[in-house]
Amino acid sequence: MTDPPATPALSVRNLHKSFGPLEVLRGISLDIAQGAVVTLIGASGSGKSTFLRCLNHLEQPTSGEIYVDGVPITDDIAGLRARLGMVFQQFNLWPHMTVLGNVIEAPLRVKRMPRPEAVALGRRFLAKVNLLDKQDEYPARLSGGQQQRVAIARALAMEPKVMLFDEATSSLDPELTNEVLAVMRDLARDGTTMVVVTHEMAFAREVSDRVVFLHMGQVEEDGPPAQVFGAPVSPRCRQFLSSVRA
């Protein structure tokens, strides 16, 4: 007897999103396997960020279905969000809470975890992003790279099924970018399921299991990095890659 195929961590079926007359996503379907690292690349305006934001309903999809662990998401949006960790380009840490406060806020309020347990959990994830020594600082006193690592710890603290990264390094200087990418590499190595929107082609090539190229709201190319970067089928993908390499 063979095992049934594993349920994907995240399934998206025919996702559409329009802003008024502008159709940004034109029917995207993707299965993200447990533990996979999938990077989304594409020109600006191709719909990468909108797709990511639709996944946790920060943008309401116009139509389409989303399944987390095989369970369809219908009306429990907060529950969906709690199972998808999101890391933003602008970090979006809460400035009036300490680093630890930021990380344990959702476990305390959303999961209603007892404080000592939440603190232990928060410290564990801060250690994971190498910022345990900053737990009592306020965000304004941290560098951009440190703030983004705290934001990653904050998302991890909900122990989500999938981590979503929305251009997590785009507002960082190159040397700070590296410290954030290092944390993301660690997560990938630990088997965290990740969907990463990025302009870091080196990261996409080295770390991801799969690269998806979006063009005008549709999946134009989808495959392992060696194929997408080495021998893309789509001419548009080839064009895009040569423009970012130049």
Partner 1 sequence: MLDNFYRYVVLNAGLLGQGLLVTLQVCVQAFVLGVVLAIAVSLLRVTGRIPRAIGTAYVEFFRATPVLVQLLWVNYVWPDLFGFPTTAMGAGVIALALQTSAYLAETIRAGIEGLPRGQLEAGRAVGMSSLQIVRRIVAPQVALVMAPALISQMAVVIKSSTLVSVIAIPDLMYAALKIVNEWFEPIEVLTSTAFLYFLLIFLISLAANRISDRFRARFGLAV
Shorter beta-carbon distance to partner 1: residue 110 or 233: 110
Shorter beta-carbon distance to partner 1: residue 46 or 56: 56
Q: How far is the CB of 53 from partner 1 (least distance, A)?
A: 9
Shorter beta-carbon distance to partner 1: residue 32 or 87: 87
Tokens coding 223: 């495959």
Q: How far is the CB of 235 from partner 1 (least distance, A)?
A: 36
Q: How far is the CB of 109 from partner 1 (least distance, A)?
A: 5
> Which spans of this chain sit near partner 1 (rule: CB under 8 A)?
56, 58, 78-82, 84-86, 88, 90-96, 105-106, 109-110, 137-141, 151, 154-155, 158
Give the span between the Cα atoms of 57 and 59, in whole angstroms.
5
Q: How far is the CB of 93 from partner 1 (least distance, A)?
A: 7
Q: How far is the CB of 59 from partner 1 (least distance, A)?
A: 10
Shorter beta-carbon distance to partner 1: residue 82 or 211: 82
Shorter beta-carbon distance to partner 1: residue 32 or 86: 86
